[in-house]
Amino acid sequence: MSRRTNRAGLTAALAMCLSIAVIGCAGPDAAEKVILSPQIDGEWRQIAGNPDLGKYTSSRQEPVDFAVWQAADGTWQLWSCIRNTNCGGRTRLFYRWEGKNLTDANWQPSGIAMQADTNAGEQAGGLQAPYVFRINDIYYMFYGDWNRICLATSMDGKHFERTKNERGEPDLFSGPYENTRDPIVLRCRGLYFCYYTGHVPGNSPQKHKCAVFCRTSSDLKKWSEPVKVSAGGSPAQGKEWDGGNAECPFVVEMQGRYYLFRNQKYGENNLNTQYCSMNPFDFGVDDDSFMTGTLAVAAPEIIEHNGQYYIAALMPNLKGIRIAKLKWLPKKQE
């Protein structure tokens, strides 16, 4: 048996063991719950636009992958990766907006929030897709630096500092594909599940040019081997960019089921596909049987506040970010 085959077997075994451990997160009757389908509920409101970056401003810049969360003082924070700027390198940096209420329109632009630190091993201009969650009094920001998933922390939810390892760098892991990016972290029964994306060049012999992976951790420091949880299927068909058919994953747990939002198109024809599974490690690889529907959105983030779900997504013209209420309806039986 080759080392590659043995490692693949160990990864599959790990996924099976962890699946058994976590499928029961919401109780033994989860299988009897109705499968739900997310739907936009009402009008969109624009909360962020295309910001003034000073010397880094470019006519080609676009706000893309982002995160929304509530800071310690009650204000709402939005950090977005702005791409195609004049900051050099991979042209990306993080910009920040602040809102008094989640439902307000046109949040206050608050300046550049973070740029890549090449002294910490980050790719110049390579910051991508932040995601923030709070544990007790600490805010954790996962983000991509073009090659790795990295971590920064904050006490107030506004000012973040990189959490550096023994090498003096903020990275947690990378791979197995290139351009490791777009993290989202879900917590269940003492484990953290980090879902993220990677892709390989179009001429690669890999069957799946882009995929959603998951790793788990009990302490946010040591992470398991990656499990490919979603790839291929109908979203990978057509002439879209090979590396963009499984981007910006977002996972929501409801009533013992896990809902994956998987992105494949930006811009005026924006498109996101949703999947539902009782196994957080399996949303279908070359398998559409877990699909629950599609939404005309790009890079969505799902927010629950005061018992109401909201969805934030990119503007179709890629000139800002919008938000709307989200409702969950029983999936129509075919």
Reported as a pLDDT band with limits 50, 70 and 90, residue 239 is low
- CA of residue 46 relative to chain centroid, distance: 20
Instruction: Measure the CA–CA gap between 180 and 128, rounded to whole angstroms.
Output: 9
> What letter represents residue 322's amino acid?
R
* Paired residues of 150 in beta bridges: 143, 171
Mean per-residue pLDDT, 115-120: 98
Classified as helix, coil or strand, 145 is coil
Q: Residue 32's pLDDT is what?
A: 62
Question: What CATH number does domain 47-174 carry, 2.115.10.20, 3.20.20.70, 3.40.120.10, 3.40.309.10?
Answer: 2.115.10.20
Buried-exposed string 110-147: b where 16+ CB fall within 10 A, e elsewhere: bebbbbbbeebbbbbbbbbbbbbbeeeeebbbbbbbbb
Q: Which of 49-53, 76-80, 177-181, 234-238 has the lowest mean pLDDT?
A: 234-238
Mean per-residue pLDDT, 259-285: 96
Reported as a pLDDT band with limits 50, 70 and 90, residue 273 is very high
Q: Which of 93-97, 99-103, 320-324, 329-333 has the lowest mean pLDDT?
A: 329-333
Model pTM? Answer: 0.92
> What letter represents residue 31's amino acid?
A
Asked if residue 334 lies in contact with residue 327, where contact means CB atoms within 8 angstroms, the answer is: no
Question: Does residue 92 carry a pLDDT above 50?
Answer: yes
Q: What is the DSSP letter of 17?
A: H
Q: Residue 230's pLDDT is what?
A: 98
pLDDT tens digits, 289-307 = 999 999 999 999 999 999 9
Classified as helix, coil or strand, 7 is helix
Instruction: Measure the CA–CA gap between 281 and 293, rounded to whole angstroms.
Output: 19
Question: Does residue 108 carry a pLDDT above 70?
Answer: yes
Q: Residue 238's pLDDT is what?
A: 73
Structural Rg of the chain based on CA atoms: 19
Classified as helix, coil or strand, 10 is helix
pLDDT tens digits, 165-212 = 999 999 999 999 999 999 999 998 789 999 999 999 878 888 899 999
Q: Residue 203's pLDDT is what?
A: 83
Among 195, 193, 198, 194, CA closest to 180:
198
The pair of structure tokens assigned to 178 is 């290139």
Asked if residue 159 lies in contact with residue 148, where contact means CB atoms within 8 angstroms, the answer is: no
